[in-house]
Structure 1
Amino acid sequence: MENKYLSYDGVFFNIFKMIYKLLLLNIIWLFFSIPLITIGASTTALFYLSGKIVRKENINSIFSSFWKSFKLNFKNSTIIWIILLTVSYFIFVNMININLMPGLIAKYIYIIQLIALFEIFITTMYIFPLLSRYHVTIINAFKASFFIANRHFLTTIKCLIFFPIFYLIFSLNSFFVLFIVVFYALWISYILKDRFVKYAQVSDEDER
């Protein structure tokens, strides 16, 4: 009798097959992110596939599916990525300059800038998963991501929990970078898998 654990459709084979898919997905994301300007599009494609994995949808080819999403979302994802990067940079530089200024007003302005930077960060966590799943304009992507991130702050905290874990794991061994990005995408996709649905139902956005 064939061992159900060692057969082609057995437990161990499926585990190794999944590990291979995740490793491949992480490597593809790293490769497509090398130009830096393409990080937005590659991250959207990453979430497109991690979302399918979480929802247990069929994926015929990791690379083909990644490339499909990368091309489809390249323009909007790249524009959004540039906007996020530019605004974050100016706020960060402004915070450094304000921190050198004396007085109570400077401290208040610094706190406001810090809150703004945090808002950009949590909006970023939602915007690429949203782009990966729905046809949405750039403006609506920003509005929806900002609203959901603040309206469902407990969900946002759950998403944020991964970052200290990410830092701890990566500090132990840099080898884990081969998996850590895709694990983060899976975590976010799992947390958000039902969060967008009710908003999509009352909007004109079409699911991919």
Structure 2
Amino acid sequence: MQLFQVDSPLYKFLQRLLDVLILNFWLIVCSIPIITAGASITAAYSVALKMAKEEEGYITKSFFQAFKENWKQGTVLWLITMVCSYIIYLDFEVYFSYEDGPVLLLITGILASIALFCSVIYAYPQAARYENTIKQYIKNSRQITIRFIGKTLLLIVIVTIELLLAIFNSVTIFFAILIGPAIIIYTISGICVKIFEEIESNE
């Protein structure tokens, strides 16, 4: 049947779904020790960026090769992300611990959250694709967020929709566990590929 031929849309969809499922499995498994989550996320981005360009090859092999190559960069980025996230969490905790919390704490928490988002949203994909310093990844991420604010806002909308669909009911939650994190990384990677190619073409 033509429906299941190698070049049919259905076959390509099912193959991509299987790739995402495999990628999500290794992403979750390699993130379980927590400290390795940064390397796991960076490795997942490395594979997803190739998937977005249809250059991924073998998912498992590509993932562990990227995991090994990006261990240091991914771990440092993850530690920075976690420390900053915890500080922001404490800020909001203090604010909400008061019946009428200081407005300055709320404003600080919101601004810090935005700053952290801008600093890391494109940092992990960069670490997966380019050789650079951690400081430069973070600086570039902020600059990309501002320069490509339209694509960044589109990215936020798409990921938000994906998250809302993921928690819609028990069935969607089940599928979100199976493929959710990898789907989000794949979505971000699709936009990152376009951004990176545009930046590279102008250099």
TM-score bracket relative to the smaller structure? 0.7 to 0.9
Structure 2 partner of 1:140:
136
Task: Say yes or no: does 1:61 pair with 2:58.
Answer: yes
1:135 is paired with a residue whose SS is: coil
Aligned-pair distance for 1:84? 1.1
Q: 1:155 aligns with which of 151, 156, 159?
A: 151
Alpha-carbon separation, structure 1, partners of 2:25 and 2:13: 18
1:35 is paired with a residue whose SS is: coil
Alpha-carbon separation, structure 1, partners of 2:92 and 2:5: 58
Q: Is the 8 A contact 2:77 2:124 kept in 1?
A: no
Q: Is the 8 A contact 1:123 1:142 kept in 2?
A: yes
Alpha-carbon separation, structure 1, partners of 2:13 and 2:88: 44
List aligned pairs for 1:112-151, cutoff 5 A: 112-151=108-147
More deviation, 71-80/114-123 = 114-123
Aligned-pair distance for 1:102? 8.4
Q: Is the 8 A contact 1:47 1:128 kept in 2?
A: yes
Aligned-pair distance for 1:6? 3.0
2:51 is paired with a residue whose SS is: helix
- How many residue pairs end up in the alignment? 199
List aligned pairs for 1:1-208, cutoff 5 A: 3-57=1-55, 59-100=56-97, 106-171=102-167, 172=169, 173=171, 174-176=173-175, 177-200=177-200
Alpha-carbon separation, structure 2, partners of 1:81 and 1:125: 12
Identical aligned pairs, as a percentage?
26
* Alignment CA distance shift 1:136-1:175 (3 Å): same
Q: Is the 8 A contact 2:159 2:187 kept in 1?
A: no
2:4 is paired with a residue whose SS is: coil
Aligned-pair distance for 1:192? 1.8
* Alignment CA distance shift 1:15-1:113 (3 Å): closer
Q: Is the 8 A contact 1:122 1:156 kept in 2?
A: no
Name which one, 1 or 2, has greater alpha-carbon Rg: 1
> What amino acid is the match of 2:120?
T
Deviations 1:136-155 (A, max 9, x none): 11110011012211332222
> What amino acid is the match of 2:174?
F
